[in-house]
Amino acid sequence: MAKQFIFSKAAVDEIEASFNAQGGDAAYLSVVPFATAFKTLESPIDAPLQLPSRVNPDSDIDTAIALFEAYPRLNPLEASSRGFWTYLTHVDLWDYMRKRFPLSANMDVAARRNKIKEKWFLGEPSQGSLMRHPLAGLWWGVKLSVDESRGSGRYDLTRILFRDLDFLTRTLGTYQLGRLPAAVRGILGYMFNHQEDFKGQFEDKTRYIMKHFNSLGGALHLGCLDENFYAEELNRIRDEWINPNGKNSSVAQVAAPEAPDQTQV
């Protein structure tokens, strides 16, 4: 099987330098990807077939699933690679990027440059930068939420996560909790089973929930807890997050519940 090309570190630096030069943003108005002239490397990653036709600039969830299915076996290092994601934004998915994040010669130059920097480039890899990246964040969102035990519904929790993109990129994605698959699946599983409870004030409720669990991190080792703990805890504090701006809400003063005994296997 053909292997995926990526940019070398030197090529990523050169592309960024080219963009940062005066007038460097003009190249991003081109229909034809300009970055093919920069040095590429053949990676160990299997190259997917017809990826550009599988992504959808009008649907983040469809694109996220397409990306994950195109690269289902990325290891954490590969999935955090600036060379990999920069190659996708600048070459393989150039047309998708231009449709998903339209640029115009009539745009304010500063606004256009900020948009390119934010969408086409990945800064130094971190949890926050990866989750905010328009391709890496989609892949990681599926990676954290896919549940193969659900069979044909393995993306049910993913669809809950992508209900509001800010939930993925700026709420769940900014907390350490977002690194824990059991926590993510436990919280999303509860949300999936209680969807009526999240029809209103979705952003306020999810922010409250994330802050609550973040506060518990000082008393409990959240990484050692299973999915059931998170679902049970959400049920225990339902009166608080169901009305996140009400008098019962007190994240700052939350008392940690007793951790369940998980010594039995």
Strands (E), 115-254: none
- Residues 265 and 258: their CA atoms lie apart, in Å, by 19
> For the ranges 60-64, 161-165, 257-261, which has the lowest average pLDDT?
257-261
**Which amino acid, 38?**
F
* 2-49 pLDDT, tens digit each: 999 999 999 999 999 999 999 999 999 999 999 989 999 999 999 999
pLDDT at site 156: 97
Residues 45, 84: contact at Cβ < 8 Å? Answer: yes
pLDDT at site 166: 86
Mean pLDDT of the chain: 90
pLDDT at site 254: 44
- Local confidence band at 247 (pLDDT 50, 70, 90 cut-offs): low
* 134-153 pLDDT, tens digit each: 999 999 999 999 999 999 99
Cβ-based neighbours of 199, under 8 Å, separated by 6 or more: none
- Local confidence band at 174 (pLDDT 50, 70, 90 cut-offs): low
Global confidence as pTM: 0.89
**Which amino acid, 93?**
L
DSSP-based three-state secondary structure for 41: strand
- Local confidence band at 262 (pLDDT 50, 70, 90 cut-offs): very low
Segment 108-135 shows an average pLDDT of: 94
**What DSSP element (H or E) covers 181?**
helix 181-193
Of the candidates 43, 12, 18, the residue with the CA atom closest to the CA atom of residue 30: 18
Domain ranges of the chain: 1-145, 161-265
Cβ-based neighbours of 216, under 8 Å, separated by 6 or more: 222, 233, 254, 256, 257
pLDDT at site 245: 82
How buried is 125 (Cβ within 10 angstroms: 0-12 exposed, 13-18 middle, 19+ buried)?
Answer: middle
pLDDT at site 253: 44
